[in-house]
Structure 1
């Protein structure tokens, strides 16, 4: 992401969180909550159509899995654990 570039003023180096990063961390649960609410709406809507319902349900499940994978990866990275299960050296 753009703010992760070395010359970005929004993100401080050396592991210190900038005010911008604090705002992102504080907002992240709300953003994920909103996205999961949208997935629930897709799941509910999929029940209303016999033709496209199964495809919409599958899309909702793929989206849900992607969101959860991203959330888990972010939580692991925050704990200093790489996605492959190895700790940073």
Structure 2
């Protein structure tokens, strides 16, 4: 079965910070998903598919945008040694 074409082009995901949303925590635009929550999932060693299952509202390019944002912020994405 074919999927219907989207009526509107999908905008690329971005990380935004708005004091009115989630207390200003950096979130993925259009969601209330904090970027640091996705960073924590990546550090915990979860596969992208598992992260998407935990956050069904996450845009398709959301994880990659969070990875880029985290590296720009100087955040490590390597698994935490304490979680092992």
Greater helix share, structure number? 1
Fold-level similarity (TM above 0.5): no
Specify the TM-score bucket, using the shorter chain as the normaliser: under 0.3
Looking at both structures, which has the greater relative contact order when contacts are Cα pairs under 8 Å and sequence separation is at least 6?
Answer: 2
The normalised TM-score by structure 1 is 0.25
The normalised TM-score by structure 2 is 0.26
Greater strand share, structure number? 2
Q: Please say which structure displays the higher CA radius of gyration.
A: 1
